[in-house]
Amino acid sequence: MKNIEPKNIVQVDINFDLNNINSSNVPNESILDAKNYLKLKEYTDDDFWCFTSNQKKIRGFDYKHKNQMKFVPELDPCLIYFSSAQMFSKMIYSYKKEFLNNLSFIDPSKNKDAQDLGKTMQEFQYFFQFASSYIIMLNSSLETFINKEIPVTTTYITKGKGETKDIKWILKANLEFKMSKIIPQCTNKNFPLEYLNTYESIKDFIKFRNQLIHLSPRTDCNSVRYKEFYRKVIDFNYLDSIYQIKKYINYHQPNLIEECEFESYFDIFNK
């Protein structure tokens, strides 16, 4: 998968030439409002718009830097998280391969050239750091997208008591509930119905993420308290999960996750 193109939450095509606009075209009232705004010491709750070189108008917010107000584009956070997961995924398998290839044999007779255990611990730590960061970022991408797709006017009537729940209650609900009940209601699209196998795999991914975040040791007498989870971390199919979540997001908003050609994090870092 190539690099993911960053996109704004709100982006509007314009049908006029920016080069034809100059100060004489701007109303005096607008110029006065801008001057008054620049004198403010606090941020406003207003929307700000900026024009791009490819005939787009994008929304953003103000940010004061060195006593000057600057414009910051309001990027779609689900794409930032997704791109971050992609960045971590590039490192998972290289560290996993290195870690597994250098493990010591349990049988001492085969362990003549075993690596130092301190190095093994370090390699496993690196692998786990990238794997866990990948899982957290990819889950954040999915949940951010889902929360963004739910209109603020959405309500849900509970079964049994028939209570009407508002958007605040809905957003606090678990991710699987929102995927199975709320999103189909809001979008008239039913991913679980159309792509059941992919949906079940995404559910397994969410369970894995929850186990990672709320990791608890075994409570029996076994002294190796995290071995089942660590085995799962090593065996997990990381590559499939990013394509499954891309499929889910683009099913609801076509081409939101879009590949493009530009310098990756690692290209910039290597410079």
155 or 50: which carries more pLDDT confidence? 155
Sequence-separated (6 or more) residues with CB below 8 Å from residue 35: none
Q: By CB neighbour count within 10 A (0-12 exposed, 13-18 middle, 19+ buried), where does 260 fall?
A: exposed
Lowest average pLDDT, out of 39-43, 154-158, 172-176, 185-189, goes to: 39-43
CA 41 vs. chain centroid, Å, equals 33
**Alpha-carbon gap, residue 121 to 148, rounded angstroms:** 40
Q: Which of 249, 248, 252, 246 is nearest to 188 (CA)?
A: 252
Q: How much is the pLDDT for 18?
A: 62
Helix (H) or strand (E) holding 151: none
Q: Given pLDDT bands bounded at 50, 70 and 90, which one contains residue 267?
A: very low
pLDDT digits over 198-245, tens only? Answer: 999 999 999 999 999 999 988 887 778 899 999 999 999 999 999 999
Whether residue 149 has pLDDT greater than 90: yes
Question: Angle at Cα 254 formed by Cα 251 and Cα 259, nearest 5°?
Answer: 110
d(CA 128, CA 34): 50
Q: Which amino acid is at 142?
A: L
Domain segments of the chain: what residues? 3-73, 77-270
